[in-house]
Amino acid sequence: MNVIRTLLSPRGAVFLLLAGLLIAVTVISPSFAEPGQLIRFIQRVAPIAIVAIGQYFVIVGGEFDLSMGSLITAQVVIAGNLIGQDAGRIFPVLALMLVLGVLVGLVNGLLVTLLKVPSFIVTLGMMLALLGGVMYWTGGAATGNPVDSFRQLGRGGIRGVPVIEILPYSVLVMAAVLAAAIWLTRTSFGRTVIALGDNPRAVRYAGARSWWVTTSTFVISALTATISGILLVGYAGVHPKVGQGYEFIAITAVVLGGVVLGGGRGWVVAAMAGAFALEALFTLLNFAEVPSTLRDGIQGVIIIAAVAYSASPLGGAKRKAAPPAPPQTSPPDGKEPVAPAHLGS
Amino acid sequence: MTTNIFDAPVPDTSSSTAPVLRATDLSKEFFGVRVLHGVSIELYPGRVHGLVGENGAGKSTLMKILAGVYQRDGGTVEFNGEPVSFSHPVQAMDAGLATVFQEFNLLPERTVAQNVFIGREPRRGGLVDQKGMVTRTAALLKDLGIDFIDPAARVSRLSVAEQQIVEITKALSHDAKVISMDEPTAALAGHEVELLYAIIRRLAARGVAILYVSHRLREIFDLCDEITVLKDGAFVSHTPAAELDTAELVRLMVGRSISTYFPSALEGTVPGDTRLQIRGGGNDWIDGIDLQLRAGHITGLAGLQGAGRTELAEAIFGAAPFTRGTLAIDGREARITSIRAAVRSGIALITEDRKAQGLALGQSVLNNALLAVRSVFSRRFAAAAAALPGVLNTLELSSRGTDQEVQFLSGGNQQKVVLAKWLLTKPRIVVLDEPTRGIDVGAKVAVYQLIRELARDGVAILLISSELPEVIGMADTILAMHDGRIVAQLPAGSSEQDVLAAAVAAPIGGTP
Ligand SMILES: Nc1ncnc2c1ncn2[C@@H]1O[C@H](COP(=O)(O)OP(=O)(O)OP(=O)(O)O)[C@@H](O)[C@H]1O
Ligand SMILES: [Mg+2]
């Protein structure tokens, strides 16, 4: 009974969905279930799963990050152009990419928290700015090609592993990111992020530096985009189209994972499972020979359906608190002068 | 149904008319936990029926079952002699059973009239008849004796009390035969409570049956004709109000008699050094604040709604800092410009509105209780986490473990979580803004006891309350605020009249 309830709740539904999709794919194409194929599927999903994990932190804290896709593109182009064929440049350029990632996250976070611009707008601006920079630099064409040793990170793996033959590095990276994320959600920081998405005022009134907590989630999300970019250089090559749309894929995955938009509720493992479910669905559509041009449309339907599901009673709606009290009832925080009308009655 | 010796016979008038609503043997479980079992209640036209009990006794749950918000697991409900089973509040409303919940269901950006007629707007030639709606709303308001609410005004512009009146008007527009109200006065000021009384009496006179839930026993005795007591989800008694007094009612509610509501100072309490000293403090909302809080000393702060008490609390707490004057903690000048700085200096604020600033409702008891420590004193986190079970135990928190989300706790238990959160920071100055709002008598006494213990341990306390007996019963010094200023200081044990007089009097020299 309880197991069924958990599985039907947004938190569990995604695992049910994922299992169903994987079975469906296997039915259509039995070779999919072979260990070698399966591990290749995981390798393909890894960059997406990693950004979904980053996006999870932003969303569960009550914000959005739309700049992830462009940041991936920027990182891919940087790696392609600055590393070139010189293996000695790998580490300096990697350091530069990390710095850029942190910087983008800081700018996003500080604009949202200190200037109080909605994150939707800030990260949309960041997305366009980064994309503009990339286009200016590359002229919109594929340029640069980093040394093979760098690309190995995304496409290579440990050979000679029993059963699966090759264990891709990207799968290891994903596992490491997931482990770090799970650990993070259990720390004070992680708990505060979720509480912040639930009730920012309560967190502020507890003395937390909420601006810094929120900013950190943007830094985390930018870092995951950077890692994803590094893997994609190897996997997909260098092209200003790499990374495009990843922000929406990440948001869809997170929502599919039952994470409540607006924050306060959700599990990072489920968010990652959302990424896998999404890719499994696309694989299924592929095998079923549904034209790939329908992908975006289907993704849109999924976002809406997932949000609607978690808002339905079955999906556990009504779990969030009643709407905030109307202006007059809320004690001075928005601070308006003491109204004389209330006095001396 | 179980009867006990306190279950006096229902007065004769009840047997002469039939009940408009009769609920028998109701039961309800949440996740396998019984929160209501074998509860029966009858409501008669024109009578106000009080429903009381401790926090978590199941009062709100009972109301929500009647209103169709929750589905009962067992029992029957008869309305107008017919068995009914509402699956949605709108259905109950249409049938004539209205509920005024603590959280209103109004659309803030629509007008009063639009809210009253929402979902069944009168039509005229296919279009919504706005004018007709306004006139009909005006008529309904007039029926209630209300002339100060404009039916065309937007709901967001109304005060809490006015919004409540809109909810009641909405109920009337459905021609409600039964109106239930869940703690309707929790957020009202004194004169607004009087207004609500008048409306309720008028409704009763028109033959409406009222189910009234409140923790303020004075209201229960003022308004109610009969009283039903619940405890731990079970029926305890049903008695005509006239046959009860406060002491007896409290005994029925908590299962033991409470002799002293306000415990006296504990042994070993010694008023000590000045912990907090404010001179000439002010900001946009308050001015000329001279205040001294001493270790082991309870300072009470009285005043009317809007006098600036909460603003003062928020200034001390750094939420809306002082912009003028000086502030010293333990004799050393300090600048409290943020909440974080205040918490670091050992100041805690138990806010007036626990749902808005006190709790992240979707998070667990554990995570709420640890929120302040982990945010500000991360080095003390492990110690605080270890101390948590003990603190919750002292507060007698009743929850299903520390993993339970606080939104599923009853009001009083939520307040205890807020208190735990601040106790764990080991504060040296504690400001309590309406700390007993919405909590039951037993829990109130526990809070008073806790305040006394804090004082004994050398904490300086500022107690803000709209309930004068509370301020007078607890405070060693009583301050009265008016119009953003502290206008009077009275000794412990002053009479209610004196404090009230001080609170309404304009300050000497007038206000700027
Ligand atoms: N939706 C829910 N899910 C789980 N438990 C619930 C839910 N609603 C109420 N409860 C539990 O049912 C019990 C009764 O709660 P209820 O709100 O009816 O109490 P109450 O008498 O109204 O208390 P208060 O005076 O504090 O408002 C409590 O133990 C509460 O934790
Ligand atoms: Mg209640």
The CATH code of the domain that includes A107 is 1.10.3470
Q: Would B6 be classed as within a structural domain?
A: no
Could you tell me if B321 and B412 lie in one domain? yes
* Nearest-angstrom CA–CA distance, B150 and B138: 8
Cβ atoms of residues A229 and A71 within 8 Å: yes
Which value does ipTM take for this structure? 0.82
Q: Would B14 be classed as within a structural domain?
A: no
Min Cα distance A344 → chain B (Å) is 6
Q: Would A325 be classed as within a structural domain?
A: no
Q: Would B202 be classed as within a structural domain?
A: no
Cβ contact B160–A329 (<8 Å) = yes
**CA B439 to ligand 1 center in whole angstroms:** 13
Q: Would A149 be classed as within a structural domain?
A: yes
Q: Would A9 be classed as within a structural domain?
A: no
As for how many domains chain B has, the answer is: 3
* Nearest-angstrom CA–CA distance, A331 and B494: 29
Cβ contact B187–A188 (<8 Å) = no
Q: Would B391 be classed as within a structural domain?
A: yes
Could you tell me if B465 and B384 lie in one domain? yes
Cβ atoms of residues B265 and B89 within 8 Å: no
Q: Would A234 be classed as within a structural domain?
A: yes
**CA B463 to ligand 2 center in whole angstroms:** 24
Could you tell me if B58 and B115 lie in one domain? no
Min Cα distance A207 → chain B (Å) is 4
Give the best residue of B163, B374, B407 to mutate against chain A (max A CB count within 10 A).
B374
Q: Which residue of B has its CA nearest to A334?
A: B320
As for how many domains chain A has, the answer is: 1
For chain B (512 residues), the mean pLDDT of every run of 10, in chain order, is 41 62 93 88 95 89 93 93 90 90 80 88 81 90 86 86 85 89 80 85 93 91 94 93 90 78 82 93 94 95 85 95 95 94 96 89 95 93 93 85 89 89 96 88 86 94 90 93 91 85 61 40
Ligand 1 nearest atom to the CA of residue B56, by list position: 19
Q: Would A246 be classed as within a structural domain?
A: yes
Could you tell me if B469 and B388 lie in one domain? yes
Could you tell me if B333 and B469 lie in one domain? yes
**CA B35 to ligand 1 center in whole angstroms:** 7
**CA B215 to ligand 2 center in whole angstroms:** 9
CATH number of the structural domain spanning residue B243: 3.40.50.300
Q: Does A342 touch chain B (CB under 8 A)?
A: yes
Provide the 3-class DSSP secondary structure of residue B279.
strand
Put simply, the chain A residues between 257 and 286 with a CB less than 8 A from any chain B CB are 264-265
Q: Which of B190, B323, B262 is nearest to B455 (CA)?
A: B262
A-chain CB neighbours of B187 within 8 Å are 329
Question: pLDDT tens per residue, chain A (345 residues)?
Answer: 456 666 666 567 889 999 999 999 999 989 998 998 899 999 999 999 999 999 999 999 999 999 999 999 999 999 988 988 888 899 999 999 999 999 999 999 999 999 999 999 999 999 999 999 999 988 878 777 888 888 888 888 888 888 888 899 999 999 999 999 999 999 999 999 999 999 999 999 999 999 999 999 999 999 999 999 999 998 888 888 899 999 999 999 999 998 888 888 899 999 999 999 999 998 888 888 888 788 778 878 887 887 777 666 544 443 333 333 333 333 333 333 333 333 333
Of the CA atoms within 13 Å of residue B248, those in its CB half-sphere come to: 16
Type of residue at B69: V
pLDDT at residue B479, rounded to an integer: 95
Could you tell me if B251 and B341 lie in one domain? no
Strands B127-128 and B123-124: antiparallel
Could you tell me if B343 and B382 lie in one domain? yes
Q: Would A39 be classed as within a structural domain?
A: yes
Q: Does A313 touch chain B (CB under 8 A)?
A: no
pLDDT at residue A311, rounded to an integer: 64
Cβ contact B375–A265 (<8 Å) = no
B-chain CB neighbours of A324 within 8 Å are 356
Ligand 1, CB within 6 Å, residue ranges: B 30, 35, 53, 55-61, 408-412, 440
Interface A-B: count of C-beta contacts within 8 A: 159
Q: Would A1 be classed as within a structural domain?
A: no
Contacts of B368 (CB under 8 A, 6+ apart): A195, A202, B359, B360, B406, B417, B418, B421
Give the best residue of A113, A203, A205, A342 to mutate against chain B (max B CB count within 10 A).
A205
Q: Which of B55, B40, B60, B14 is nearest to B180 (CA)?
A: B60
Contacts of B266 (CB under 8 A, 6+ apart): B452, B453, B455, B456
- For atom 8 of ligand 1, the residue with the nearest CA is B408
pLDDT at residue A325, rounded to an integer: 33
Min Cα distance A330 → chain B (Å) is 8
Q: Does A199 touch chain B (CB under 8 A)?
A: yes
Domain limits for position B363: 274-504
Q: Would B510 be classed as within a structural domain?
A: no
- Find the CB nearest B361 among A191, A198, A207: A198
Cβ atoms of residues A309 and B340 within 8 Å: no
Global pTM?
0.79
Q: Would B10 be classed as within a structural domain?
A: no
What ligand is nearest to the CA atom of residue A318? 1
Domain limits for position A71: 14-318
Tokens of A171: 């799968």
Could you tell me if B351 and B446 lie in one domain? yes
Residues A228-286: pLDDT tens digits?
999 999 888 888 889 999 999 999 999 999 888 888 889 999 999 999 999 999 888 88
**CA B61 to ligand 1 center in whole angstroms:** 6
Could you tell me if B163 and B288 lie in one domain? no
Q: Would A274 be classed as within a structural domain?
A: yes
- Find the CB nearest B360 among A195, A326, A332: A195
Cβ contact B367–A202 (<8 Å) = no
Q: Which residue has the tokens 């929160």?
A: B35
Cβ contact A327–B357 (<8 Å) = no
Could you tell me if B482 and B458 lie in one domain? yes
With vertex at residue A62, the alpha carbon angle to CA A211 and CA A47, rounded to the nearest 5 degrees, is 100
Cβ contact B363–A322 (<8 Å) = no
A-chain CB neighbours of B363 within 8 Å are 191, 194-195, 198, 264
Ion ligand 2 neighbours (CB, 5 A) are: B 60
Cβ atoms of residues A72 and A246 within 8 Å: yes
Could you tell me if B163 and B229 lie in one domain? no
Tokens of B202: 């008028």
Could you tell me if B166 and B182 lie in one domain? no
B-chain CB neighbours of A326 within 8 Å are 104, 106, 108, 155-156, 160, 163
pLDDT at residue A4, rounded to an integer: 66
